[in-house]
Structure 1
């Protein structure tokens, strides 16, 4: 099995783990991000209303899309990341940097690899998250879409490919900046332990993989949360003036939110995200590392 296929397969395992662990927190985050100011008293109020009004299964509303899509997204992320890391390792060997095998990458190289991984991933993550958010925020009593495939069909038939990719500008900014920091943080922690203990990557304990993933997740959200909020607003906005469009562009969305709701709007829904982050991101890297070890043993 080629290295690329192994990377993609291990990334898929990480993506599935991320969705299963993080989805209940994500729906609370999205509801809080996209609701009018004062709709919810806080995270617990939002979660309590979802549970009371829509039932426990509502926390996994729209899960099919991310389960399929995020699996592909994380697969692309790790595939692009590992490919770029190998490229930099070859460059290091030529220049005599990065240790005897060139595998000790600099922070700048890891950041660049993460940015590339984020941009590659955004082609899929933008549409996937758009459909997921539409399903998460639609009325429980009068839903517009019967499911993810119905949503794709209706949006594409009415608004074309641009409708499916609504919010893509914010997605590109989020993925490039966020995943640059995300993968740099994780890989630097991994390199530090390998150097300190004189061990191989596959000898790092699963517990530490989870802890490093959790730390990387916090670094990610510290950078991208305001961008993510704008992305959510754009992806729940109307497609035209006829169906209640509020924002003409990403920049207009930023200006409008700032002017009408103030700076606090850019961090609304942050609490469930911070609670979700260590579990979802720890599970992502644990899934990737364990699957990679299994695949490499074949």
Structure 2
């Protein structure tokens, strides 16, 4: 099995772990981000409302889309990341830097690898998250879509590829900025432990992989949350003026939200995200690292 195939396979394992752990928190985040101001007094008000009105399975509403899609997305992330890391390592060897095999990459190299991983991921994550958000926020009484395939079919039929990729520009901005710092944080923590203890990567404790993933998740959301809020608003907005479109573009969305709801709107739903982050991102890196060790054993 080639190294790239192993990376993609391990990335899929990490993505599945991320969705299963993080989905209940994500639906609370999305509901809080997209609901009119004053709908929820806080995270628990939102969560208990979902539980009371829609039942416990509602926390996994729209899960099939991310389970399949995010698995592919995280697979792409790690595939691009690891390929780019190997490219930079080869460059370091030619320059005589980076230690044995050029493997000790600089912060700039790791950030660049993360940006490319985010852009590669964004091509798939844009429509996946769009469909997921539509399913998460639709009425449970008279839903517009019966499931992810029905949503894709109806949106594509009415609005074409552009409809499926609604909010894509802001998604790519979010992914590039977020995953640059995300992978930089994780890889630097891994590098530090390897240097301090003179160990190989596959000797790092699974507990530390979870902790480093949690730290990376916090840096990710610290950078991208306001962008993510705009993305959610764009992806729940109407497709045309006739169907209730409020925002002409991501910039227009940011201006309107700032003017009508103030700065607090850009952090609404942050609490469930911060609670979710260490579990989901820790699970992602643990899944990737453990699968990688198994595939390379």
Task: Name the TM tier (shorter chain).
Answer: over 0.9
CA distance in 2, matches of 1:249, 1:203: 47
Q: Aligned runs of 1:109-124 on 2, under 5 Å?
A: 109-124=109-124
- Runs (4 or more) in structure 1 with deviation over 4 Å come to none
Match of 2:86 in 1: 86
1:126-181 alpha-carbon deviations (Å, 9 max, x no partner): 00000000000000101000000000000000000000000001101000000000
Matched, 1:146 2:146: yes
1:96-115 aligned at under 5 Å gives the runs: 96-115=96-115
Distance 2:98 2:58 in 1: 48
1:241 paired with 2:249, answer no
Q: Distance in 1 between matches of 2:14 and 2:24?
A: 17
Partners of 1:296 and 1:104 in 2: CA distance? 20
Give the SS at the match of 2:146.
Answer: coil
Looking at structure 2, the residues matched to 211 and 201 of structure 1 have their Cα atoms a distance apart, in angstroms, of: 15
Aligned match of 1:206: 206
1:101 positional shift: 1.4
For residues 230-269 of structure 1, what are the structure 2 equivalents within 5 Å?
Answer: 230-269=230-269
Q: How many residues align?
A: 297
- Counterpart CA distance in 2 for 1:179 and 1:80 is 12
CA distance in 2, matches of 1:10, 1:117: 15
How far residue 100 of structure 1 moved from its aligned partner, in angstroms, is 2.1
Partner of 1:39: 39
Deviation, 1:221, is: 0.2
Give the distance between the partners of 2:180 and 2:100, measured in 1 at CA. 25
d(CA) in 1 for partners of 2:97, 2:108: 13
The C-alpha deviation readout for 1:251-289, integer Å capped at 9, x for no partner, is 100100011100100000000000000000000000000
Which ranges of structure 2 fall in alignment gaps of 5 or more residues? none
Which residue matches 1:192?
Answer: 192
- What SS does the corresponding residue of 1:193 show, helix, strand or coil? helix
Provide the residue aligned with 2:128 in structure 1.
128
Alignment of 1:19 onto 2:4: no
- State the alpha-carbon separation in 2 of the partners of residues 285 and 203 from structure 1: 14
Q: State the TM-score, normalized to the length of structure 1.
A: 0.99
